Amino acid sequence: MAQVKRIEPDLQFIKEMQAAGGESLKKCYQCATCSVVCPLSPEENPYPRKEMIWAQWGLKDKLVGDLDMWLCHNCGTCSDQCPRGAKPADLMAAMRNMAYQNVAQPTIMGKFMSSSKYLPILAGIPALIFLIAWFVTSGFFGLPLDENGQVLYRLVFPQTAFIDPLFGLIMVAVIVIFIRGILSLIKTFNDSPQAPIGGVPVLTVLKSTWQVIIDEILSHTKWKECGGDNNDRYFGHMGIFFGFVGLFIVTAYVGVAYWLGVFTGWDLMTPMSLWNPFKILANIASIALIVGLILVTKRRLNLDDSKFKSSYYDWYLLGVIWVVTLSGMFSQLLRLANVPAVAYPMYYIHLVSIFMLFAYLPWSKLAHLVYRTVALGYARHIGRSPKPQA
């Protein structure tokens, strides 16, 4: 006979789950409608019914190491069909929010990202950094112009001495934090009962993850499998995803070209001509971003409050991406219109929001781009999330 296991509920954890978005979890009466109607949930140990009872019982260990939170793509069918209004979709989202708080080190950042009351600190740090830079280069809110009398952002925020070193440093830090996060995530998966005996080696997970990126994420197949009326989310996420991919390519080009120019003396300086292919790509990507943002924001605003609730994590990420996108667009337009008094402050806002998006990435909802991807890779390897049918 199996040994009787004593359940040790963590009451504080239940409260934390409720605060992180799972406030209705105690309404669940375990009918398992959610597990059945979920279009993605597997046959063996399906989610989210089991997560609901783990959360009710305060079984922190099980929830924290649960791979399934990342298999859920939040289509909301479970909450739609839940006979009790227990909102299982919100609980799964809350579990991911807890992961954003706790997977990446230092976790104090996770705490700062968990509530709007810390927003002034988070915004204040970059606001101050860029303000000091502005003061150092151009005096108190100086509005310098280049030799042709044009707005040139580099004059206020120099790329060589300031922007690239700062964001380069952030990039290195974020990568290191993510690598540690990935390792700790794989370890929790390997410690969970779903793991094969002996666990899965990190390299194997990463190989499988690569496959997931190639044939699942690029095509957004999971969103399609979510089925139903998910078009706003499918196209919305796609717009934002490929918008970011496009802008990543442009940024990478600008970085490489700039430093190539510095060392070779070739003129590869920004701003690029509007007809430069990379500039065209940048503008197309921005438009894709805006369209995607409109779709997902509209959807979120129209959610039935009795079935779904958006958390602070959702709004933080959406808000920051909106500011990044709009301030970026307007920075370009104001530069072309040559209105220094508005253009420089706009570019300043753009930099502050970019900092908030990337420096805090490992603790924000955007971290799903790493954690979910790795989790899907792991799930595919152990057969929990099968390869999509062609």
Partner 1 sequence: MEHSGILVVGGGFSGITAALEAAEVGHEVFIVEKGSYLGGRVSQLNQYFPKLCPPSCGLEINFQRIKNNPKVKFFTMAEVVSVTGTPGNYTAKVKLSPRYVNTNCTGCDKCSQVCPVETDSEFELGLAKRKAIYRPHLASFPLRYVIDPVVCLGKSCSKCVEACSYDAVELDDREKEITLNVGSVIWATGWKPYDPKKLEILGAGTIKNAITNMQMERLASPSGPTSGQITRPSDGKAPERIAFVQCAGSRDESHLPYCSYICCMASLKQVTYLRAQYPDAEIVIYYIDIRTPGRYDKFLQRIREDEKVLMVKGKVAQVTEDGATGDVLVMAEDIIQGLKKEERFNMVVLATGMEPSVAGTTLPAGMQQDDDGFCISQENGVFSAGCAKMPLDVMRSAQTATGAALKAIQTVVGR
Q: Is 119 a binder of partner 1 (CB under 8 A)?
A: no
Q: Is 29 a binder of partner 1 (CB under 8 A)?
A: yes
Q: Rounded to the nearest whole angstrom, what is the least distance from the CB of residue 73 to partner 1 in the complex?
A: 18
Euclidean distance between CA atoms 318 and 314, whole angstroms: 6
Phi/psi of residue 63, nearest 5 degrees: -70, -40
Give the one residue of 10, 18, 26, 37 binding partner 1; rule: CB under 8 A: 37
Euclidean distance between CA atoms 103 and 10, whole angstroms: 19
Nearer to partner 1, 122 or 226 (CB): 226
Q: Is 303 a binder of partner 1 (CB under 8 A)?
A: no
Euclidean distance between CA atoms 97 and 368, whole angstroms: 10
42-50, 252-260, 338-346, 353-361 -> range binding partner 1 (CB under 8 A) = 42-50
Phi/psi of residue 145, nearest 5 degrees: -125, 155
Q: Rounded to the nearest whole angstrom, what is the least distance from the CB of residue 383 to partner 1 in the complex?
A: 15
Write the binding mask 76 to 95 for partner 1: x where contact by CB under 8 A, - elsewhere. -----xxxxx----------
Q: Which of 226, 298, 296, 292 is nearest to 80 (CA)?
A: 226
Q: Which of 108, 47, 112, 101 is nearest to 75 (CA)?
A: 47
Q: Rounded to the nearest whole angstrom, what is the least distance from the CB of residue 99 to partner 1 in the complex?
A: 22
With contact defined as beta carbons under 8 Å apart, do 48 and 122 qualify? no
List Cβ<8 Å contacts ≥24 apart for 128-134: 129/166, 129/355, 130/157, 130/348, 130/351, 130/352, 130/355, 131/348, 133/157, 133/162, 134/344, 134/348
Q: Which of 93, 88, 170 is nearest to 129 (CA)?
A: 170
Phi/psi of residue 40, nearest 5 degrees: -110, -20
Nearer to partner 1, 83 or 168 (CB): 83
Q: Is 385 a binder of partner 1 (CB under 8 A)?
A: no
Q: Rounded to the nearest whole angstrom, what is the least distance from the CB of residue 53 to partner 1 in the complex?
A: 8
Task: Please work out the total of residues on this chain that contact partner 1, with binding judged by CB under 8 A.
Answer: 21
Q: Is 305 a binder of partner 1 (CB under 8 A)?
A: no
Nearer to partner 1, 32 or 339 (CB): 32
Residue for token pair 């918008």: 243
Give the one residue of 8, 12, 15, 30 binding partner 1; rule: CB under 8 A: 30
CB-count exposure of residue 346 (10 Å: 0-12, 13-18, 19+)? buried
Give the one residue of 9, 15, 45, 256 binding partner 1; rule: CB under 8 A: 45
Q: Rounded to the nearest whole angstrom, what is the least distance from the CB of residue 344 to partner 1 in the complex?
A: 54
Q: Is 300 a binder of partner 1 (CB under 8 A)?
A: no
CB within 8 Å of 308: residues ≥ 6 apart: 76, 79, 87, 89, 90
Give the one residue of 10, 18, 26, 33 binding partner 1; rule: CB under 8 A: 33
Which tokens hold the place of 163?
Answer: 């922007």
Q: Is 26 a binder of partner 1 (CB under 8 A)?
A: no
Q: Is 46 a binder of partner 1 (CB under 8 A)?
A: yes
26-34, 138-146, 238-246, 352-360 -> range binding partner 1 (CB under 8 A) = 26-34
With contact defined as beta carbons under 8 Å apart, do 55 and 90 qualify? no
Nearer to partner 1, 1 or 121 (CB): 1
Give the one residue of 35, 79, 209, 332 binding partner 1; rule: CB under 8 A: 35
Euclidean distance between CA atoms 360 and 124, whole angstroms: 13
Site residues (vs partner 1, CB under 8 A): 29-33, 35-37, 41-46, 49-50, 81-85
